[in-house]
Amino acid sequence: METKSHLVAPSLLSSNFLELANEIDMLNKSKADWFHLDIMDGRFVPNITFGFEIIKQIRTKTQKTLDTHLMIVEPEKYIERFREAGADIITVHYEASNHLHRLIYQIKETGAKAGVAINPHTPICVLEETLPFVDMVLIMSVNPGFGGQKFITTATDKVAKLDRIRKKHKYKFLIEVDGGVNLDTGKILLSAGANILVAGSFIFGSENPTKTIEQLKIL
C-alpha cells in the first residue's frame, strides 16, 4: 500500500450527524482521499460511535476508501462484519489484542488492508515483530475517545522513529497520524515521515471544510 504524496482522511466523528448525507457528499466532492471512521465501543474508550448499519449506509454514498479505526475490545469477533459493512482498511489497537499477529492475518484474509494503532503512552518498540506484516501504522497523537483534543508533541518523535525503521528495513507500511492535526502540526508530521493525516474538528469546525482539506493536501 504505497502513496506518492500524502493523503488526507477526514474523521466523520467530528461531522454533523444530523447532516451526515450532506457531509459525505461534501467529502466526495472534495480533495479528501479517505473517509476515517472511528469505531468506539464504550469499553476500550469512553465513547460509542458508528455501528455496522451506519457503515453500510456510508459505503453506499461513497466510493472513497473507508479507513476504519477500531477502538474496541475483542476486535477479533467483529473483523468479518466490518469488512462486510464496507471497510477497506481495518486498524486495530496493539493495546486491545493479545494475539496481534493472528489478528492482522484475520484482517488480511477478508481482503482488507491491515493496520495497527498505538496509544500515546505506547512505545514504537512493541511493534518490532509486527511491522513486516502490516499495511499501516496509526500513531495516536491524542488519547483516543473524543475529538477536538490537543496534539501530544511526542507523536512527532514516534513518527520519525517509525520512518527510520521503515527505511532501514525497506518496509512498505504507511504511517498515519490521528489527533490534533492542523496546518501547523500536519506540516511537522509530514516532515517527520507521516503519509496520512487524519483531521476531524479542524476540518468540520472550519468555515469552509472543502478549502481546509485543500490546504491540508498542499502542505
Catalytically annotated residues: 38, 178
Find out whether 216 and 8 touch, Cβ atoms under 8 Å. Answer: yes
For helices 52-61 and 20-29, angle between their N-to-C axes, nearest 10 degrees:
40
Place of cell 491540508: 216
d(CA 200, CA 142): 12
Please give the single-letter amino acid code of residue 38. D
Closest CA to 157 of 179, 129, 124: 124
Q: Which residues of 25-48 are buried (b: 16+ CB within 10 A; e: fewer)?
A: ebbeebebbbbbbbbbbeebbeee
Work out the angle at residue 212's Cα, subtended by the Cα atoms of residues 30 and 51, and round it to the nearest 5 degrees: 65
Interatomic CA distance for residues 31 and 28, integer angstroms: 8
Place of cell 514516534: 158
Task: Write b or e for each residue in 115-148: b if 16 or more Cβ atoms lie within 10 A of its Cβ, otherwise e.
Answer: bbbbbeebebeebeebbeebbbbbbbbbebbbbe
